[in-house]
Structure 1
Amino acid sequence: MKFAFSLKNKLKIAFLLFCIMCCSLLIRFLEDKSVKKINESFISMYNDRLIPATDLYFIAENLYHKNSIVQNSLGFSERSVHPSVGKLRLAKYNRKIDSVVSKYELTLLVKQEKQHLDDLKSALTHQNVQENKILNLLHHDILEGRKLYETSGGNTSSKSLNSLSVLIKMQSKVGDELIKDSKIFVSGTKVYSTLQVMLAIAIGILIVGIVSASNAVKIQNEKFNLN
């Protein structure tokens, strides 16, 4: 009878330890998953937000240079440029911008970003067409070229910059969302760590209980033998 009672208690203890072990493994799995998500968020922040944001500002810089070339070709500044030279310089900046846009398309984009990127590409294409028209007119009639620039050419440049500005703001918004997600994952790892500490305490209490029960049984056996 005593043996059956002892076996029953041992089975209870073994089952309890097994449950604690399963909980520990589950918490460890969830913690590793959370850390992986945090790592992915930071990688995405760098590859899909930080570097592309720098590239977008690079596009803005090139758009500024393009507008300066057109104005110089129109004779609006002291640094006048021949229309043929202006077209060559514009072509160089257009290649740079196209290269950056193609690179940007390969990054992780949300639905709104894709839409704003399409708007930017459309604005850039329209700007290139207008700039070529202006510079072609300058070969024949500089007044007509200036007129086209003042009526629509300058506006196309502003539209490109506005589209670019919207895309940059969208980058910042998505980046903030990634940071919020990372904070959630970090909070999760803190919870998992707390649970691990609680399980460790539970195991410690269980061990102390087993040792105390074992000592109590030993003392009772000694008293029984003395009697």
Structure 2
Amino acid sequence: MKSFFRIKTKFKVCCLFIVIIVLVLLNNLRERKSINRLDHSISAIYQDRLLPATYLYGIANHLYEQRLMGSDGHPAAIDSLVTVYERTYLTPDEKKQWVSFKDHLARYRATAAAGDTLAMMREFQLTINNLNALSSIQIGEGKLLQTDSKSIVSGSTLSSKLELTLLIILGVLAIVLLGLTEKAFNPAEHQSLN
């Protein structure tokens, strides 16, 4: 009977240790997923927001230079930036604005080739308006990614605190168990002393 109580008490302590270890491991897996999400979010800020914003600026810059100085090399540079921009991730709003931009750019080029100055100026302004709208979308999407990144970081901070608390509990239990004598695991012996 004495060995039964000893095994029962040790079993409870062992189960508690296993539960804490499993919780720490699950928390660790969750943190790894959060780190992967954060990595994706940071990459998206650079790949799909910062670089495309730079491409949009380059397109606008070439359009203004072309308008002021003529078309020496600017159409090819614009076409190159258009091709690179189209390889990035576009939200549905961006796709809509992008289609409109390309339509106005084609009309701008056609009216410039035809020599219709008034229509060319109107299409130029509409093209620039599309670029400005695309830039605004870039800013909005960048803010969403930033908010997502902040929530991932705050969740990881909370998760780390939980993990640290569980490890402290595990350490305290280990110290308490080391300090206990064999008689502490055998409550049946204490009852027989009465």
Counterpart position of 2:40: 40
Could you say which structure has the greater relative contact order, defined with CA pairs below 8 angstroms and 6 or more residues apart?
A: 2
Aligned CA-pair RMSD: 2.1
> 5+ unaligned residues in a row in structure 2: which ranges?
none
Question: Residues 122-171 of structure 1, C-alpha deviation per residue, up to 9 Å, x if partnerless?
Answer: 1101101001001xxxxxxxxxxxxx31x322111111101100001111
Partner amino acid, structure 2, of 1:214: T
CA distance in 1 between counterparts of 2:53 and 2:184 reads: 71
Q: Does residue 1:124 correspond to 2:91, yes or no?
A: no
Residue among 167, 170, 176 paired with 1:203: 170
Report the Cα offset of residue 215 of structure 1.
6.2
- 157-166 or 40-49: bigger deviation: 40-49
Q: Does residue 1:100 correspond to 2:81, yes or no?
A: yes
Counterpart position of 1:28: 28
Residue among 151, 154, 175 paired with 1:187: 154
CA distance in 2 between counterparts of 1:106 and 1:114 reads: 12
Query: Percent of counterpart pairs with the same letter?
Result: 31
CA distance in 2 between counterparts of 1:215 and 1:5 reads: 12
Report the Cα offset of residue 214 of structure 1.
2.4
Q: Does residue 1:112 correspond to 2:93, yes or no?
A: yes
Counterpart position of 2:15: 15
Report the Cα offset of residue 205 of structure 1.
2.4
Question: Residues 8-45 of structure 1, C-alpha deviation per residue, up to 9 Å, x if partnerless?
Answer: 11111111111111111100001111111111111111
How high is the TM-score relative to the length of structure 1? Answer: 0.78
Question: Residues 95-137 of structure 1, C-alpha deviation per residue, up to 9 Å, x if partnerless?
Answer: 2111111111111111111111111111101101001001xxx
Q: Does residue 1:173 correspond to 2:154, yes or no?
A: no
CA distance in 2 between counterparts of 1:214 and 1:162 reads: 80
SS at match of 1:107: coil
Report the Cα offset of residue 216 of structure 1.
5.4
1:47-196 paired onto structure 2 within 5 Å: 47-69=47-69, 86=70, 89=72, 92-134=73-115, 148-149=116-117, 151-196=118-163
SS at match of 2:89: coil
Counterpart position of 1:81: none
Aligned residues: 189
Is the radius of gyration larger for structure 1 or structure 2?
Answer: 1
